[in-house]
Structure 1
Amino acid sequence: MIKSLTRSLAQFSPAFGDVSHLKHYRQAYKHKNLADRAYLNRIGCLISIIIVTLGIPLDYVVYPEKFVHFAFLRIAEVAFLMAMYAITTLPRVRPYLFLVTAAFTSSVILTVVIIIYQTDGATSTYYAGINLVLLGIGFMLGLTFKEALFYTFLTLASYWAVSAASGIPEGAWRIVINNSYFIFLTGVVANIAAYFSERERFYTFCQEQEIQRKNQELEEMDRLKSEFLANVSHELRTPLTVIVGPAKHLLDTESERLSEQARVVIERIVRNGARLIKLVNDVLEVMSFESGRKQPKFSPLAFDQIVRSTASQLSALFSDANGKSLKVTVSNDVVPVLGSEMQLERVCFNLIQNAFKFSPAKEGEVSVSLMKDDDHAVLTVADNGIGIDPKDHDVIFERYRQADGSQTRRYHGTGIGLALVKEIVSSHGGNIFVQSKLEAGATFTVSLPLCHQDIPAPSVIEDDRSDLLRSAEVDYLNCFKKEVQGSQNNKPLCLVVDDEPDMAAYIRTVLSSDFQVQIACDAFEGQKLFDQLKPSCVISDQMLPGMSGTEFVTWCRRHPHGQTVPIVMLTAKNGPSTKQAAADAGADAFLIKPFDAVELRQSLHYLVRSTTRALSDRPTLVIVEDERDIAAVLMDLLQSSYDIEWVSEGGSAVDVIRKLQPTAILLDHMLPDKDGIDILKELKASKDLRSIPVILLTANTKGNVREQALKLGVDDFLSKPFSGPELTTRLFNLIQRTRLERMLEAKNNDLERAVSDLKASEAQLIHSERWRTLNHFAGGLIHEIGNPLNYALSAARVAASHSSDTVRSEALADATEGLQRIQLMISELRDFLAPTSAHELELKPTPLSKVIQRAAKLNADRLSGVAFSTQGVEVNVLVSESALMHVLGNLIDNALEALLESSAENPRIEIVGKLREKDQHLILSISDNGPGVPSHLGSQVFEPFIHSNKSSGLGLGLSICKTLVEKMGGLIVLEPSQLGATFKLTLPLAQQVLPSSPRGNRDRGSLK
């Protein structure tokens, strides 16, 4: 019952469920439980002492005559309990705690029993003390279920014993039963409490052990991780030094002799190598703090000199070219602090770098100040950038955390810089805090205690970093400057023709980030520059000295280079006639002054791209990559084979792709505003874009990224770092595959259209054939009925007009013959349209020879010149005599028609019967030596309206014959022959046992 109860209670606590998987903790739990039992025993002794002592005034009130006796008894019990308490504190007694528990618990029970015995015995009110003992056993002593059960029975047995010893007064047995009942219930509650309490203690102990074990594993893993990162970072320094050092030296000494492309590549190597060195240095610093490595020896330093030196090294970043400025305010007094110059320099580097990176590209301001405030040096670094949400103020100082750590973050970083600053400042006994809110800049304040020791004279600083590593960090920061300034070499050239110098200069500023701009002050200079430079696009004012803008545009369009060059008319003269004149001259766009800079750039970009794509048969490639250097590497690899459009952030990628409809897409995974997976979702959900092949290019190695992309339908993957040949090969193969798939799809569409057209033609042909057949049938019917009808009418007229009875009799006979011929044709037509049902044919034994003779007699006049013979026909067949005679008559008539048509020599017709004993059937062959049936007809001769010769009949005879034979349970076929035609009939013999009803067509299968 207890186990069933625990299973149902497992939903409330795992301690009450199955804990068999934790049995390996039992031994450790026993040792731990001894310490807990010792503590709980002491608590039990103390509570028992209090309860026993508080019983003394109760004895005085309830039993004053026995007060003294009970007082001595209680004092003795208290003394014994105090001795038990003292014994419980001894560590060597712990293995025997169950004896101590038994001793002090039994002493309390004995004390209660003695008092009960000396008062009212079984009816004494002190039996409630027994209930208190049971409650203590269940809830305070930490006993096992078995121990609690033992003490419960001991207590109940003690009450029964004292009741029996003191004697039960007459009529008091009900009280004994009542007391025993409540003692028993209290024991049940105590035992349940002990059972669940023990399971809870055991489960809690196991959980604590599991937590300790996992903590140890995590600590070990963290230690190994730290060692690994530190070792890898140290190992990276050597190859990075070998890469960055020679590259910097090459730039410094051979820059003038390097080609422009080579210089750009080497600058890219230095910049990104410096970026990696910066990361390695930060990681090493963090690992030094994390591993608890001995910190460098602190010495008195002039903090003001460190701040000035750092700001001076970074001052080259701030210039008019990138629109950012640096303001440094340092106290003229020496600011002495106790610390490490290397670490304090890093604090300054990281804070100024952070401010530079997050300040706006235009009108960015970074201010650095250092001053004394009482006993502290206060360093403040402020910017006017994007700011930090107040809820993230604590996050940014945690290791590996960033305010925006998403895959769509706009600013790159590892989350080490500010965490390292905080740890360095804390190790110097200082504090750092930030004041900021979104879109309101950020101010970082560092407070360090001043040092009152003398500052030694400047000396060579012992540092484990070389000058290369120091300068590399500055180079890394300079990469932001490089990104802002960009390169002018690969930009398209834009010719601006405007006679207002300030306006032309403003247009240059607007376009300088994307175009090389050449300015002409009038149309004549514009013509000269246009002829010399052959620009990629032109912006022209309308009102120019010597020549209007429309005349200049007209001249450009007549120039060999100017027929496809995009031209934008940018003028303050806004009127319908001016717009129309610009359009007539050949301007591609018309913009009004004052103009919107964004609109001008977008219009120019769109016109240049459209023109480039129109003139080029090369495939178009869109690269969505936020890392400028990686995008540059990709463009260097692919620009010889593709027209490339670079998109640096995810938010506008889909719009650009929709506008360009590129041949393929190289898509990075981690992008600002929107990551690659979200972009891929939009592409594959769009009907117009889903067929464009996409290669996901990412440094993210998580398996779920590949799984997500595959589910969405990505075409290929490439991991950073990538191989140039692998990239170009994969891209080429992917584009070729896509082209082949599209060609195959086009071919399939053409085939589907051809099949559809063929079906329509077939339907039309069938319809035409039906009309042709119907016309042929109608013509044949008219011919077949017209001839005998005319013959009958002529004979009737002769009979009506002639007086001779003989002539009249002959004429009437002729008329009758003609009408009978018409009746026969109508009968055939009726049999075809509504053939006689199987149950209407009366099948009976019929002599075959007799039917053949009657059928031959019908054609006796035409058989006179034909050799007609029969063989093996002296048998009885189970048929309808009239139906069989109709069939044989038709077959003989067809044979005669064929013989007469061919004028065959020695014409003959043979009818031969052959028994098939295995199934009691007769094979009857009707052959002739006529021209036979054309091979292309084959089995079609049994179809309606099919003529096997040039006769003008209805073409229904053989079809009706087939129907009649099958309804008699037989089969008719045309046997292939080199000469003449042979029809074979399979007929049932009269000896065959007939079923209760004719089987019709179902019997045909057995006649093969």
Structure 2
Amino acid sequence: MELTNTVVPEFLTGGGEMGALIRSHDWASTPLGSFEKWPQSLKTCVRIILTSSQPMFVWWGPELINLYNDPYRSILGGKHPNVLGMPAAEVWKEIWDDVGPRATTCMEKNIGTYDEAMLLIMERNGYPEETYYTFSYSPIPGDSGGTNGIICANTDDTLRITGERQLRTLRDLGRTNTENTSDAAVFEHTIHVLKENPHDFPFACIYQLGTESNTAIQVGSTLENVLPARLNLDTAAADYWKFQEAISFNKTLVISSVIEGFGNLPSGAWARSPDNALVIPVNAAQSKVSALLIVGLNPHRQLDDKYSSFFQLIADQLGSSLANVYAYEEARRRAEALIEIDRAKTAFFNNISHEFRTPLTLMLGPLEELLAGDTSAFSTKQRADLEITQRNANRLLKLVNTLLDFSRIEAKKAHAQYFPVDLANVTTDLAGSFRSAIEHAGMELEVDCRPLQETAYVDRDMWEKIVLNLLSNAFKYTLKGTISVSLREEDNKAVLRVKDTGIGIPAEELPHMFERFHRVKQSGGRSFEGTGIGLSLVKELVLLHEGTITVESEAGKGSTFTVSIPLGADHLPAAQVSMYDNSDYFSLLPESFAQEAAHQIEIEPVYNGEIADSDKPLILVVDDNADMRDYLQRLLQHYYVVDIAANGKLALERIRQQVPELVISDVMMPEMDGVALLNHLKNDPQTSAIPIILLSARAGEEAKIAGYDVGADDYLVKPFSAKELLARVRVQIRITRLHRHAVEILQQSAQELEQKVDERTAELLRKNNELEQFAYIASHDLQEPLRKIRTFSELLQKSMQGTGTQANHYFEKIQSSAARMTALIKDVLEYSRLSNPDARFVDTDLQAILKNTLTDFELLIEQKGALVQSDALPVVRGIPLQLQQLFTNLIGNSLKFCDKKPVIKITGCTVPEEEIPEELSKDQAYIKLIFQDNGIGFEQQFSDRIFTIFQRLNEKKAYAGTGIGLALCKKIAENHHGLIRADAELGKGASFTVYLPK
């Protein structure tokens, strides 16, 4: 047998697939003839394109016969390989009106052409497709002269152009919508932005779901008088657009044959109207559809996953903007309500302060007369009671006056009267009123007030309140060291400084020190009592003098308050300035402040051993108010041994020395408050059994419940009667002793064990519920940024096309990982949703559920050549969204775990009473759904394990998934008061049986 060796010309060597096709093509039947006879210029050009990595082609001869290289195949799409050797006018007949004249110019005039990112509607995959190409036609000289052909290099700009267009739309949508403060403005801006992109949005329309049931209202549209302004969701028009289905399943739906239903709608940038549209649910709140976005689809682009993600991002952005608007509206309403409350509160303080003054005057007058007269008729205890009453009535009057001052300032009714004052002498006298209390507390008072060169004009009453409040504050929070008061003239201003060596102020609290009702939490000091408006009042009084106040402090090292007011009277309202001094001014305010300060000094109690030796029960009284401690001690000491402490920290020290049988504690105290003390005692096994009665000024049922919630054994609201307190103390001590006796007789009884189990079960249920809520919120909030990661990385990849394979490799890694995480988040979100208590049971057609599921899997079923067989399925009472998820997971599972041609059988029947599983109620009728497949199966010993969340029986690399799907199925069955079982044999398929109530 003779062998013939075919010699391949050098210009046709290599070239990949196209090199082989050109070598094997029957060129003799074309105008070019056999390749051995081709002109040298044609051979050279063919050699150039076959060795190039850029898409290139050659058109040769009068017929422009088509030759091309491997990279150009992606441009031809489905036309390849049939168009090799065909005339160019036949290859690109759909765009010949655009490129033909350019070819003529090149061939007849020997002039090259160049076009950048030119739009060409190509039909290369069975439909007209939007493409953008940069290309140049260069004339090829023949061997004998003249132009014999065209060589062209191409760059595909489609992904770059469409990506930049979509990025621009998303950017503009985000920029405009964040500035809008009403939903109408959001809808208007959204439609305006979508109009700016007529390529991707030939038409668009937004329907907002009305407050009325089953109503959708058109709130923005590029369609004039086409769709109704108001739609009832039960009408045929709403049914055509599948509104109910989109809302019920919260799912984007494709509407086909739009032209048949409505004729030619607006076409945007295209010559033909779109025949397909999307209906996209817009979620302004978690999983709640608030609007529907209708979008006409680009007729020259297929709706793939990437394009769908773009539209979903548009809907997400719209939903996010609506959520911001609703949050803004809510914040505005709350702000208005707070302003109104503030006005009412100011008016209330003003009125109530006036009303308090009359009864206080009638209390203080007789008290003063009693104490100033002959007191021999009173016992020592009675006189002490009168003094406590007078002292606290004066304190109440001071608080009322402070509230009245503040309310007047708030209502702009406080008018100062400014007199010339020797500010150094006045300030020295005011500071001196505190000397006795400060020195009695073992501290030093330093006063250095130097005369001023220029006269100071102040309201004497207001200046007293400024100085005395600052001194009172310093004394309250200074337990040792020095308090100093100085006055200097600096820059034509009087500068007052009150400095202490007290506990100081944390840095984070400094900006809030002059805010109304602000108090530093858990601060140390002599008392926690006060209104929280003293420093705020000081600031307002300083401002009335056109002055400023500042504070410098360091925790543990003390504080310095600095008040600065201008000297002279030029800065003050002339009508409020008097040129005469008021040297006859008299005030009892310094004495009131000094008496209150003196009573804050703590006197260490002295005991004579009675606590340790007495048979009486020991009670510990904890309160930062000395009068309250004295009162409770006198009240209880006839029946009990009483120990006292000024705050929770000191109380713990007393308890370490001697454990009491009962603790009576105030709630609000410095150093450690009553709640913190309670937690310390209850969490310590050695003191957890001590009963605790909390005392608080907070009244009302809610305050009592809050007291019991923190673990108090009893709760008393001030003021309380002596009889009530004594009765409650007796009850608590009796209960404690009985309990102690019972514990000694019967430890760890069955009832106690059962109670512990119940409490543990309730705690586990609560934690499980919190975990599910966390999973739902976290999963839902992760979806939008993850979707943006995927979409924007894809868009960025498109815009960087041709910059190198390394960047593409990284983008593919990002998108692959994001896709895996999206699947996991979706499953976790679905799992957490199953605990929604608001889910409603309705009559649900399982046949319709199956139809929807098979429609979703249509492409995968076709790809795998799967066969799905089913009986006629019944209607059940259930939750549609959950049953849809059940069918989706079980059918998807069967398709995934079948390595050969899948065969899936779905049957449904009523369960005879004798076959109802033991786990289910015999009083209920059930149906049985069986999902059977011919997949890989599993070992029967794992039939329960596969329903555990995140449980997988196969390698992740072999079968992708999250390990949540079957756990979802189990929870759905349980939510419907049914169950699910699995039966399988390794290598022979699996069968899942679902029992549901009829």
Larger Rg: 1
Name the one with the larger strand percent: 2
Give the number of the structure whose residues are more often helix, by fraction.
1
Same fold (TM over 0.5): no
TM range (shorter): 0.3 to 0.5
